[in-house]
Amino acid sequence: MQSMTGYGRAFVEIDGRQMAVEVKSVNHRFLDIAFRMPRNLMFLEDAARKAVGAKLSRGHVDVFVTYRNLRTDARTVQVDEALFGAYADALRSLAELSGSGLRDDRTLMGIARMPDVMTVTEADEDQDAVRALMLAALNEALEGLVAMRGREGDTIRADLSGRVDAIERMTAAVEARYPETVEEYRQRLKSAVAELVDSGVDENRLLMEVAIMADRSAIAEEIVRLNSHVQQLRALLDATEPVGRRVDFIVQELNREVNTISSKSQDIPITRLTVDMKAEIEKLREQVQNIE
């Protein structure tokens, strides 16, 4: 079982190129991936999205990428000769206008500081090399994130398992109590029917109404379904694939059956049990939102 909350980070350097990748995830109904990376690396997004999708099935995932190219061929410096010539002409004109009071003190560093005379240009990246570097860093970061999600998933699984045990015990208590309620209900109906028959009420119509009321108060089917849902939950808690959506559905079905029992039964002990079961189911529902 995997939680949907986790974090992983990796730093990889290959052949003078450095890549740092951070990955964090939180709860989400589906797999939603957001990337934060330099604009010149946007060509990596498709490969990165596939890599994340291969490891995760649900959660909002933020991927942060930083990159440095330290190779000697990463940048080139270019001189704008035409612009320098224009600067030189302007300086000569300035010297002529000022007379002989100013001397020409140009130096190489002074020329280099002239705006736009020298420009640094980033070389075109080797996309295959950068893609391989990114995937290495991303997969390492994802391994750390998955490991964290797994550790949290173990904690969630233990909590869910304990609550399922509690629901199973309460279901067994309802099942044990139910025959007694049926007998008590039968005795009350028997006395009521006897009194009404003695008072002249049509016996066939009365028996039909009694049968309808008895059917409406029967909870045997709900108990069977509750036990079935508990067994399905146990199987899903031991599954190796993502089960969040299926567990969420079964928890909703558990709640439906318990509500039906609560509305049908007039027995106070069973009503108390259903209140406690609803509390456990609500905690289950909250916790299920955290699993993949």
Residue in this structure with the two tokens 């029967």, named with its chain if needed: 218
Question: Residue by residue, what is the 3-state secondary structure of 6-70?
Answer: EEEEEEEEECCEEEEEEEEEECCCCEEEEEECCHHHHHHHHHHHHHHHHHCCCEEEEEEEEEEEC
- What digits encode the pLDDT tens for the residues 200-210? 666 666 666 66
- Give pTM, 2 decimals: 0.70
pLDDT at 197: 65
Strands 59-69 and 17-26: antiparallel
- What digits encode the pLDDT tens for the residues 25-83? 999 989 999 999 998 899 999 999 999 999 999 999 999 999 988 877 767 778 888 88
How far apart (Å, rounded) are the C-alpha atoms in residues 65 and 11?
Answer: 10
How far apart (Å, rounded) are the C-alpha atoms in residues 239 and 251?
Answer: 16
